[in-house]
Amino acid sequence: MIHVRRRLVSLVCLPLVLFSACGDGDSDADEPSTPSPSSSQLASPSTFPSPSESASTLPEDLPADEVDPEEIVEAWVEAYDEATTSGDTNRLRTLSAKSCTTCDNVAMSIEKVYSSGGWIKQSGGATQVQTTTVRPGPNKKKRMVTAQLAFTKGTTKQDSSSQAEVFAAADYEWDFYLAVVSGRWQVTDIGI
């Protein structure tokens, strides 16, 4: 019952984490003309794969015995950042098992914003995975990775007719449950 309650609270709180309003949206700075990378993202190489990068170098494309579960969590967080700033959830969904309801809810929330004419802009750089702790699962094909995540501040517009809203930077601990699915690690659940 506690796990069910925790999941329900997590699902309700996720949009608040992503889109909580801390500003009034009246400032011109709150409404970008087009989402653009932050200066810290421009100064360093992208953590997202370029189109010329071989698919076999991505953690989600490697067999489970060639990649650590922590790398999958880091890739999932990168894919989450990419999805929140572009609206493209394909990589996020590739890293998530079809059975991961939380993953699907995260992706659908992002898709809804972009399909409604809204956007999400991070102004403090990418979400950082500060630490990870891996715990064994009931067998070699399951793991739990607890990740300390530092989410950046930014602005969001829920749809084409809404005002831009500011969301604050925040630190959270998320539990990622992973399993080997078709020979590759995938996120099967997230405890937020």
DSSP string covering 46-100:
-SSPPTTS-GGGSGGGS-GGGS-HHHHHHHHHHHHHHHHHH---HHHHHHB-TT-
Cβ(76)–Cβ(176) under 8 Å? yes
Rounded to a whole number, what is the largest CA-CA distance in the chain? 53
Beta bridge partners of 189: 177
Provide the pLDDT confidence category of residue 124 given band limits of 50, 70 and 90.
Answer: confident
Q: What is the mean pLDDT of residues 168-174?
A: 96
Grouping H, G, I as helix, E, B as strand and the rest as coil, residue 120 is: strand
The pair phi, psi for residue 44, each rounded to 5°, is -120, 160
d(CA 13, CA 8): 9
Percentage of residues in the chain with pLDDT exceeding 90?
66
Residue 87 backbone class (left: φ over 0; alpha: ψ -120 to 50; beta: rest):
left
Query: Residue 57: its pLDDT value, please?
Result: 85
Cβ(187)–Cβ(76) under 8 Å? yes
- What does DSSP assign to residue 45? -
Provide the pLDDT confidence category of residue 26 given band limits of 50, 70 and 90.
Answer: very low
d(CA 80, CA 24): 26
d(CA 79, CA 100): 15
Tell the CATH topology of 2-20+63-191.
Nuclear Transport Factor 2; Chain: A, (3.10.450)
Q: Which of 117, 43, 114 is nearest to 82 (CA)?
A: 114
Q: 144-161 burial by CB neighbour count: b if 16+ within 10 A, else e?
A: bbebebebbebbbbbeee
Of residues 33 and 66, more confidence is placed in 66
For 5-15, the pLDDT digits (tens) are: 333 333 333 44
Could you state, in order of their start, the residue ranges of all structural domains in the chain? 2-20+63-191
Query: Residue 41: its pLDDT value, please?
Result: 37
Query: Residue 163: its pLDDT value, please?
Result: 96
Grouping H, G, I as helix, E, B as strand and the rest as coil, residue 6 is: helix
